[in-house]
A and B are shown apart, each in its own frame.
Chain A
Amino acid sequence: MSLVEYDVIIIGAGVAGLTAGTLLAERGKKVALVTAGEPTVCLSTGCIDLCSGADNPEEAIDALPAQHPFHLVTRQQIHQAVDDFKRKMAGAGLAYVGQTSRNRLVLSAIGTFKTTCLIPESMQASPQSEEGKIHVVTFACLKDFYPGYIISRLKNASFSTYDAGISTTMGIASLFEDENFLESFLLWVEKQNIREDKIAFPAVLGLESSAAIREKIEYRMERPVFEIPTIPPSMPGRRLFNCLKDSFHRAGGVIYWDWQATGAEKSGRLIEAVITESHGRPNSLNAQAFILATGSFVGGGLRADHSKIIENIFDLPVYTPGKREEWFEQDYFSLNHPIGRAGIVVDGSFRAVESRWDNLYVCGNILAHIEVLKNGCGHGFALATARAAAESLLEAGR
């Protein structure tokens, strides 16, 4: 028995966990969140993918296969989740643009276009086709960005290279937080005689003050500036995580960092506590209800061994697509790898089917049948299911 008893404990600090936690804390619940470490949102582009199967994400959602868990969320819940998200992010200085009725494109670091729904303002000026006239400013010895990929595909693009002496996106982003650096950088950019309509940067324009930094460059260069998301570690992903985390804290939520959940204390049809390992010793945290938002394989919510896939905190039944040799198709690019359907199957109340726990709710990327890459159901799906799971928990009077 822990010293503090919470109303709700969330497991997982990704988009789903933090969103559900914030909503519940705002409704007066005493909420704690346990996480094994930084979530995968820090590795993401920061874009909010909702559903990429059609120009209109809402229509794309309707067209998803019947067992897709997006069908468990109402249209109103999706709208509310997105509106709430946009309002909170704007308030935190990380404005997002876009509507649930329209997908848009973001230029990738290899010159292809990624389909997404909501994008951070720093990507708003991203061109929508290969005709875009852009000038890419890159950084010497930055390991994870090579403008040649983009230049070779976009005919009207050119680039120039600034030597910041640092090889990581994180390192360069922190340089931009320094006004003196920004000023000397701007003097250099002004000398580059840029003719294109827009200026692109790898997503390294600051971490905490990214909006102000971008606006300053736009003002001085008199044209739109946009960021190109990089491979991990990704600054837009980290900015998103920071803002979600701050709004959870502001709502009164508590986060237990480096608390790896390893099991649960159970009684009858209820989960009583989650057992965690932190700093080498076990702890348990009691609560009235629990939300499992630990993500899929990358996030650590699911784990595969030679023959089966398990969820090892509550030992929930996991939908497993056949034997191990059937998890992947031969063609790497097929997007139909059956492994994408692995996960927890839930009912309309977001509780796992074929399990007896009345007070355990599941949301986000750990759910079965999502097929994240094929359907483009990313952070937007996490936002929507987190809201729906939290509302289901509240409705049950927990």
Chain B
Amino acid sequence: MIKTDVIIIGGGATGCGIARDLALRGIPHCLIEKGDYAAGATGACHGLLHSGGRYVISDPVSARECFDENMILRRIGVKCVENTGGLFVRLPGDSKIFRERFLRSCNEIGIPTEVISSTRALELVPSLNPEIEEAVRVPDCSIDPFRLCMLNMKTSELKGGLSFTRHRVIDVLKSHGRCTGVKVIDMGTGEQKEIHGNIIVNATGAWADQVAKMAGSEVPLTLSKGSLVITNHRLTNMVINRLRLPSDGDIIVPNEAVCLAGTTSLAVEDPDKIRIEPVEVDTIIGEAGRMIPHFNNTRIIRAFSGVRPLLQSKKADSREISRSFQIIDHQNGMFSIVGGKLTTFRLMAEKMVDTIMDAFNLKKECETAHKPLDGQEELSGYPLSKRLADMKNIVCECELVTRQNVERIIEQTKTRHVGDISHRTRLGMGPCQGGFCTFRALGIMHDMDILTPEQSVGALRDFLQRRFRGIRYALWGDQLREEQLVEYIYLGILALGKTIEPG
């Protein structure tokens, strides 16, 4: 049995941010995550650090929060934020009235804007549609959500915080009507443990209601699925937004070597049963293609969906529901923190931990906005020359990940999952989507002698099945060609089709 003060359920940006804040304020804590960090909505978003521009009209409070947090995160997280800058582009036919409202609202809220001509915009982003009328420059950035979570957890780890990934909470323990802990199951081994604590924080996003129900409470949520596509290269160096009311497919974000475009917004019931519709892919490509015409011919390497947990309200379109967050005190030792967005995760964590400090009757100021994220000095920043110097040891040619990177992650995390290595190194995130490097990553695990015979081929099959879910609706052109080659390698050359393995 493990004893701690605060139990955090959920390893998305919010949960990881709470762990960091608690660590900096000296509160013992333990984080439980059923998958890997950033496995839910955190890892299934654009990776956009909003300037706030997107919300100035629909939700001015959120917009201001976004802007403030944007300024904080670019300061404390230099190794996971790229200061790309952003443009809101106005296409022929887009409302001029909206433009006026947009500029006025930005001004009132305090978000700096600069109206630039289409010529200037094309100088900044040559791939833009030359027909745009004008653009508004805003301080958008791109952010790596996986790295963000890992860096937040680094502080927790340094201060002695506990964390269990691939552990699912199966029960909330109660005594005299109060939550006293959780029972968790190790998803790998099936082993169960009990963790006792004084306060439980439910930071499980789309799963918040499910978890709250275990404590006899509820969290009314509207779940909204958003789908995105990834291109095989960086079509723009700036974030591109459409200057109109938020709608489908109107944001393109450059992230490392690729671009992400989205999203859609469809109400869903069960966050574990979402699938992407082919029409969503076509919509996103069509809309993104209006801003950057080359989008129509470029290679889409993957399409995926995330689920936005939005606080329930009577507004019909989920985009109009406030994305500002809320902390719910269930009056039984459990708090749920819901809503919000990636950009404001730190603020959400701060408010949550303020609440916890009050409950414990302790006083210590939040420091997360001032201290740089721990662990950034270890990250090289990856200049290309450095990455290419060791060509012989590169196992993922798309993302230039070396064997040493992979071995280090396996040693640190003891993982048997290729996905965990991807989240920490970008292995398999390039054009071949792990087609070659997964065979190698599992081969390295074999070399390290940590895979059982059952895990060996089973892990390959499991990976390919998951990978296929992401790429299935983006298969045409060169991506289909590459997919057929990968299928030929695994099912033909390696004869993986006929083996039935557990796992």
Tell yes or no: B443 within 8 A of A by CB: yes
- Asked if A373 contacts B443 (CB within 8 A), the reply is no
In the assembled complex, B488 has its CB within 8 A of some CB on chain A: yes
Q: Which residues of A contact B494 (CB under 8 A)?
A: 108-110, 112, 114, 231
* B4 proximal to A (CB < 8 A): no
Q: How far is the CB of A329 from chain B (nearest CB, A)?
A: 9
On chain A, the residues within 8 Å of B475 by CB distance are 304, 324, 327-328, 339
Interchain CB contact under 8 A, B476 and A306: yes
Rounded to whole angstroms, the CA-CA distance of A43 and B493 in the bound complex is 9
In this assembly, does B362 line the interface, its C-beta being within 8 Å of a C-beta of chain A? no
**Contact flags (1/0) for B472-503 with A, using CB distance below 8 Å?**
11011100110011011101111111110000
- The proximity string for B residues 393-430 relative to A, scoring 1 for CB distances below 8 Å and 0 otherwise, is 10100000001000000000000000000000000000
* Binary contact readout A314-346 vs B (1 if CB under 8 angstroms, 0 otherwise): 000000000011011011110100010000000
Q: Are A114 and B493 in contact (CB under 8 A)?
A: yes
Contact of A378 with B476 in the complex, beta carbons under 8 Å: no
A9 to B51, CA, bound (A): 60
Cβ-defined contact, B457 with A333, below 8 A: no
Tell whether A324 pairs with B472 under 8 Å between CB atoms, given A112-B457, A148-B447, A231-B494. no
User: DSSP class of B's interface residues: helix, strand, loop or mixed?
Assistant: helix
B360 contacts the other chain (Cβ, under 8 Å)? no
Residues on B with beta carbons closer than 8 Å to the beta carbon of A378: 492
Per DSSP, are chain A's interface residues mostly helix, strand or loop, or mixed? Answer: loop
A297 touches B451 (CB 8 A): no
Shortest CB distance A380–B (Å):
13
Kindly state the separation between the CA atoms of A108 and B493 in the bound complex, as whole angstroms.
7
Assuming the contacts A43-B485, A167-B392, A305-B477, asked whether A373 and B493 have C-beta atoms less than 8 A apart, the reply is no
Interface residues on A, range: 35 or more
Residues facing A in B433-463 (CB within 8 A) are 436, 439-440, 442-447, 449, 451-453, 456-457, 460-461
Least CB separation from A167: chain B residue: B392
Residue of A with least CB distance to B485: A298
Please list the 5 inter-chain residue pairs (A to B) with the smallest Cβ-Cβ separation, ordered nearest first: A148-B446, A146-B443, A332-B468, A114-B495, A152-B453
Beta-carbon nearest neighbor of A335 in chain B: B497
A 138-170 binary contact with B (CB < 8 Å = 1; else 0) = 000101111111011100000000000011000
Contacting residues of chain A (294-320) with chain B, CB-CB under 8 angstroms: 296-298, 300, 303-306
Compute how far the CA of A23 lies from the CA of B395 in the bound complex, rounded to whole angstroms.
42
**Interface pair B498/A112, CB less than 8 Å apart:** yes
**Chain A residues with CB under 8 A of B447:** 146, 148
Q: Using a CB-CB cutoff of 8 Å, which residues 335-372 of chain B contact chain A? A: none
A98 lies within 8 A of chain B by Cβ: no
Which listed residue, A149, A229, A330, touches B456 by the CB 8 Å rule?
A149
Q: B278 within 8 Å of A by Cβ?
A: yes
A149 touches B282 (CB 8 A): no
Task: Please report the C-alpha to C-alpha distance between residue A327 and residue B456 in the assembled complex, in whole angstroms.
Answer: 30
What residues of A have a CB within 8 angstroms of the CB of B476 in the complex?
304-306, 324
